[in-house]
Amino acid sequence: MRKTPLIIKATFTLLFIILLFYGMIQARAFLYPLALGVFFSYLLYPIADFLEKKGLHRILATFFTIILGLGVILGVSLLIYSQLKNFMNDLPAMKDQALKHIEGLENFLEQRLGMNSSENEGMVTSNVKGIFQSASGMMGSIFAATTGTVFTFAILPVYIFCILFYRNKFKKFLLLVVPDRIHNKVESIINDSSDVIKKYMAGIFTVVLILCFLNTIGLFIVGVKYALLLGVLSAFFNLIPYFGTLIGGSIPFLVALLTNESPQIAFGVVVLFIIIQFLENNILTPNITGGNVSINPFITILSIIIGGLVWGVPGMFMVVPFLGVVKIVCDHVEEWKPYSFLLGNSGTEKHSLSWERIKKMFFSGK
């Protein structure tokens, strides 16, 4: 049998990848709510399973679980909205304070460096004015965008209900479409994937909840206004691995830098988020989330960028557990094990840092 040339294989593979991503982008309004429904179903499954084991009918158990989840979301949304409303009311005063600081900085640069900004009121000042002017209409834009996608997110509870109710049916379907000889392998993949997603979803939301308290208390101690709003928003950005802390920490930093008389508060915010980042990376995430999704950092960063390009923020959030499932599938398929090795953390053990190796590097001569 004649082998297919490598260039033809590569061409068809590349064409398949292009069409796959094109289809995912074009159908994003349908696909990512469905994917979110799957992930949130795993998050809510322990509650539904608990109620069902207590004797409640599956329909009622699933219904009460979704009501509970919606209640939590509604409570958090109202809390953020009340804080955001006060924030928007104080926006004009914050704008004046920020412009005052920027003008002082421009005067300092003009005196020391001879920079003349009188022709256009200063480039930085003009940009800051534009930011605050656009911010006043931000709430309207957010609600307009939400109204435009109301069906997309209104259907999410329906997806969650159906996935939780038909969960055994979906598993049975997968076992029916594969040959009997690989039933054990497929069942192992299903069970391992379910376990990984459940633990990851529960772990990441537990970490975010803890960070809500840590961020809020820390910002309150530092002296940042709207500590609750900024702390909660910063914590929710941690749903995005690696980039979340940077994005979340930049918001209270900019608010503190532009609206407080002393730059020491902004410096305090930087120190606070360095400490919180250390606690999250070394204590919270390893002990709560653990190594459930054993994807190496390089692949994770690349996948987050691609997920953002394809599905925006939801894609950045969902891509990590999705890769965890892909790795599990590759682990169970002999021909795909090289891809599992590429995705995973193994293979760099001799170059990894540990406390024992650090002691040998610095204290071996003593």
Name the pLDDT band for 146 (thresholds 50, 70, 90).
very low
Identify whether residues 237 and 335 lie together within a single domain: no
Identify whether residues 128 and 194 lie together within a single domain: no
Overall number of domains in the chain: 3
Tokens in use for 298?
A: 């390089």
353 part of a folded domain? no
Name the pLDDT band for 87 (thresholds 50, 70, 90).
confident
Tokens in use for 260?
A: 């407080």
Name the pLDDT band for 62 (thresholds 50, 70, 90).
very high
Q: Averaged over 133-162, what is the pLDDT?
A: 62
* Host H or E run for residue 352: none
Domain, as residue range, for 194 = 185-290
Q: Kindly state the greatest CA–CA separation across the chain.
A: 81
pLDDT tens-digit readout, 246-288: 888 888 888 887 776 667 888 888 898 888 888 887 777 777 7
Identify whether residues 286 and 297 lie together within a single domain: no
Task: Single out the residue of 276, 253, 251, 275 nearest to residue 266, CA to CA.
Answer: 253
Contact 244, 307 (CB under 8 A): no
Identify whether residues 145 and 194 lie together within a single domain: no
Name the pLDDT band for 345 (thresholds 50, 70, 90).
confident
Q: How far apart are CA 48 and CA 196, in angstroms?
A: 18
Bigger pLDDT: 25 vs 112: 25
Choice among 41-45, 146-150, 350-354 with the minimum mean pLDDT: 146-150
35 part of a folded domain? yes
Identify whether residues 111 and 191 lie together within a single domain: no
Contact 280, 211 (CB under 8 A): yes
10 part of a folded domain? no
pLDDT tens-digit readout, 313-327: 888 888 888 888 889
Identify whether residues 125 and 194 lie together within a single domain: no
Name the pLDDT band for 98 (thresholds 50, 70, 90).
low
Identify whether residues 109 and 196 lie together within a single domain: no
pLDDT of residue 76: 82
63 part of a folded domain? yes
Helix%, strand%, coil% for the chain, nearest 5: 85, 0, 15
Exposure on the CB side of residue 182, measured as CA atoms within 13 A:
12
